[in-house]
Structures are given as structure tokens and as C-alpha cells.
Structure 1
Amino acid sequence: MGPLGFSVDQLMELAGLSVATAVAEVYKLSEHTRVLIICGPGNNGGDGLVAARHLYHFGYKPFVCYPKRTAKPLYSGLVTQLESLAIPFVPVEDLPQDLSGQYDIVIDAMFGFSFHGAPRPPFDDLIQMLVSLSVIGDSAKRPPIVSVDIPSGWHVEEGDVSGGGIKPDMLVSLTAPKLCAKKFTGPHHFLGGRFVPPPISSKYGLELPPYPGTSMCVRIGKVPSVDISSLRENYISPELLETQVMPNPFDQFRTWFDEAVTAGLREPNAMALTTVNKAGKPSSRMVLLKGVDKQGFVWYTNYGSQKAHDLSENSNAALLFYWNEMNRQL
């Protein structure tokens, strides 16, 4: 146990959870299901084993390559945990030379900041496998590479000295970014390991960003730009026939609204209200539904609001309820 009272297994659990949450934040389960985690013999590999467990519970399908197992109880316990979940362990010799066809994400958890020297077999070949993967120009045709703390084979301060090392798409720095993180050029840089007490931050001059809400990771740097058209999702839902709808629209709305409440949606009474004044100028804003009966809808506002003014001139309005989790809008 260290001077702050943290044990190695505690820190490893926090680190692995941070990696898993960062991966889940960027690489959605609907498109990136199969995750290969390549683990080294030390603490970095232990972080990878923990991340594999959490990714499993997040709904992903992890596969673990752990060629040099450590006999210490901490590591054997992590292996037992994964085996109890029937998470496959893949021997190095069974890995395809091109990982693109079998995995949607590859996590590099081989070596951390304490590694020195040249990688030995089989990790030298594994690193080269990831190097070959990272040089594929079209990122849409290959699985993204996620490196834990530092990319394996990089110098902890100088980075990719040879220029021929792994070029990860995501780097999850742990506790605090290492100097080599300045050389990272990928689109996603996260900080994980939410445990550093203020006295330690002050002692070492660490200016760590605040973590949002209850998250175990925080993005560092600018959010990468995206192709807006690529954000479109495919909405597949059963066809709604006229014969399936209640004759009274208010009764039907109440039924659907009760379903949204039962499903646990946050603020299912939030709706977009669109009005038009006498000059024909439209106005939309979000309001909260207060009640509904056969007379109509009532929402929270005041008589001096823009909405009230518009409705006094034109009583026609449009309401839109959008319940994304239920793939439904009214």
C-alpha cells in the first residue's frame, strides 16, 4: 500500500475502468462490438485485463491476448474473473496478421511508462502488427487503436523516437499525462484515474482538468470535427397502422406518455412548441408539459412570454415530443 493508502489493485481497478469508459464514450457499441485487448506482463497489462471485464459488462465482446502471464495473485485473480465470464483468451499464434477483419477495436495494454529497452518476443511482433494496422490510411477500414497510458514502444518522455512506432487513434493517459503525450496526434486523448488528492496535485504542480459529473475519464484537448452526415442513425421500428391507434387522440397520447414515464425517460414532458405570430414569423422553444385533458395541452409559461403573445394573435400551434430511447416522436 502506498503513502496515500491506495493499494495496487485499487489503482488498477480505477485505471481499467477509466480505459473502458473512455472507449465506450467514443466507440459506440452499435458499431464497435468486438474488442481485442493485448496485455503485457506488468501493470499496464493488468489495466487491460480490468478494462476487458468492464467492457464485457458494458455489452462489448472482449477478446484478450495475454501471452506472458504473471503468477502474482493479483493478476491470476484478474484472469479468473475474465474466465468466469467466458471471455476468450486468444494465443498470439491464433491472431491474424491483419486484425481488421475480426476486431472492431484494438486496445494496446502491453507496456507502460516504466518500460525500457527494446520489446522482446512476442511483443515485438505484436507491436509491429499494430504499426501495420495504424498505417492504413482509411480509418473506416480498420479498427481504431487505443493505447493505455503511453503507446507501447514509445519513450516515456520523447515519444516515438524512431518514427515507426504505433500511432494510436486514442490515448488514455492515467493519473496525469506523460511527457510523450505531447507527441500524440490522434483524435481522442482522455485522462483517467480519478483519485488524485489535492495535496499531490499541488506538490507536483499538476494542473488536471475537472472530471465531468460522475465520469471516470475526461477528454483532453479539442473535440475532433466530424462529418455531420455520418451522425445519422438507422431507425427501424414496427409500422404503425391507423387501426392500431385509439379513436381519441388525447387518450392515445396519454397511453404513450404513460409508457414513456414507465420506461424511465428523463423529462418525458419536455416538448418543442412552435407558434406563429400575426406577421407569419415562426418561433420555437422547449417547454414543459403541465397537464393534458380532453380540452387540450397545458404547459409552463407566463402570460408575458413570447409564446403567450403569439398565441394571442394566432391560436394555432404545433407540439413535438421526442422520446429517443423509445424511437418515438409525437
Structure 2
Amino acid sequence: MNFSSLLRQHWAALRALLVLTVIVGIGYPLFIWLVAQIPGLKDNADGSIVEVNGKPVGSSLIGQLFTDDKGNPLPQYFQSRPSAAGNGYDPLSTSASNLGPESIVDTPGDPSLPADSNGYKASLLTLVCSRSKAVGDLDGVDGKRPFCTGDGVGAVLSVIGPRDSTGNVVHPTKVVSVNEPCTTTQRPFLDIYEGVRVECAKFGEDYTVGQIVPVKGAAPDPAVPADAVTASGSGLDPNISPAYADLQIARVAKARGVSADQVRQLVAENTDGRTLGFLGEPRVNVLELNIALDKKYSNKS
């Protein structure tokens, strides 16, 4: 290949690069930006930023926490659903917990290490149980759920003993409440199981040799709705169900010194129906509702 031929090939490649740079690097982004400025699309394209007195306070598309500097819920505000995105609603760490319905046994922590770094990991069941108890305590309702202990952990036993041909233990010799460590001063949630005294779990022991048995218990149908105890797939859901909003009305009304009916009316005004009348479920945007509360009923707590 002579020099002139090589030069022509490189010049053709350079021209292709320049053309594609203009089209893909400048023209296409500019076209998309112009489309995004069409009325009806502009708000979403700009991030759906919500402002109060000219200052941005959040996005209507991304949830946020309404807690104090110690992580305690502020009683004068409606609370969002849980989030598994970073430390909560972090757009740079959007994710789910990736825990499924079979996640019922906690990973125990080393009692010799600090609680925040001992390796403990709660199962999905225990997360649901603890959140339900916390919501119940905060909003003055019964936070008990089936398959949960009174202390808010998964009610799960490891039943050890000889098994039949189907794999079920027929004569238990040892029964352990796997999600209740022996560091607690309380007895396990169940005293006796099939004639065997229930023990609490000890760190370092392997209870997978036993048959894992979740215990439903006698708890009624949950008063705390599902979205109050489970995170969304993205961890950024800004909405809660009308049922969860209704659960919080009495607390918010008391904290603001107004009647429950006044707050209930504001909730109704900030409840959106199904998209296009049939997609999804009715929902309440927590940030917009709390802003409406601050505008109409200033915080008196």
C-alpha cells in the first residue's frame, strides 16, 4: 500500500468520525433535549423538582426520609415506605434487597463484636416483622403479623431429629428458635414444640441440619399494610398506598394540633387514582402531601 492510498483511507475515516460525532454527539442529544421541552414532558425531563418558596426540596419521582438526625420518624410528617437504596432513597444506589419469600432465617452476628459490624443480616421475614412492629408502635395500631414473634423477628424453628422418607422430622430431639439469639434475656417465642423445649440460637452453631419450620402463630390479619414493611424494586418509590396514609392520619393530626378529619381531607386531595383509569393502584405522594400539610397546618410540635 503506497502513501497516497494510506492517506486517503485515513482521511475517509476521519471524515466518518467527524460526521458521526456531529450526528450522535451533538445532533441526537440536541434533538432529544428539544423533544423533552414539549409541554407534558418537560417536568419529568427536568427531574420533577418540587420547590417551596423558590427552593428545591426534592423530586416528586424520588422518595425521601422524614426523620430526625438520629433516624427517628418525625411524628408531624407522613412516613415513606422503606428503601433498600443505599442509606435510603439514594439515586446512585438504586436497588432492591434481593431477598425473596424463602429468606426466613437471619444470619447471626458475632456477639463479641460491635452491633453495627458483627456480621448480622436480617432475613426478609425479620425485616417485615421488625418494620411492622415499629409502624405499629409509632402509629398506635397492632403491628403483629403471622410468622412473627412479639419482639419483631421471624418466628422460625430448626427442628432436629430423625426424618421420614419425605424429609420431615418425625421425632424431634432438639428445637431451636433460630432468629432469637441467646444474648437476649427473654425466653424463645415458643416454650414447647411437639413435646420438646425450645432453645434460643447460639452463635457459631449450624442449625441447617434441622428442618426449618416457620410458625404462623395466632396473629390476626395485619393492620399494617404491605407497602409499610417492604421496599420497592428501585428503592426510590415516592408513593404510599391510601391504606398506609390512613394509618398515619391520627398521629400526624395529633402532632399538628388539628383534627383527624382535616388531615384526612388533605390526604384525599393528594391521592391519585390509577393511571389512565386502570394501570397500577391509587397512591399518595408523600413529599407533596407533607408540603401541603406544612402550607395548610403549620407544624405545632
TM-score scaled by length of structure 1 = 0.18
User: If you compute each CA radius of gyration, which structure gives the higher value, 1 or 2?
Assistant: 2
TM-score scaled by length of structure 2 = 0.19
Name the one with the larger strand percent.
1
The higher-RCO structure (CA 8 Å, 6+ apart) is 2
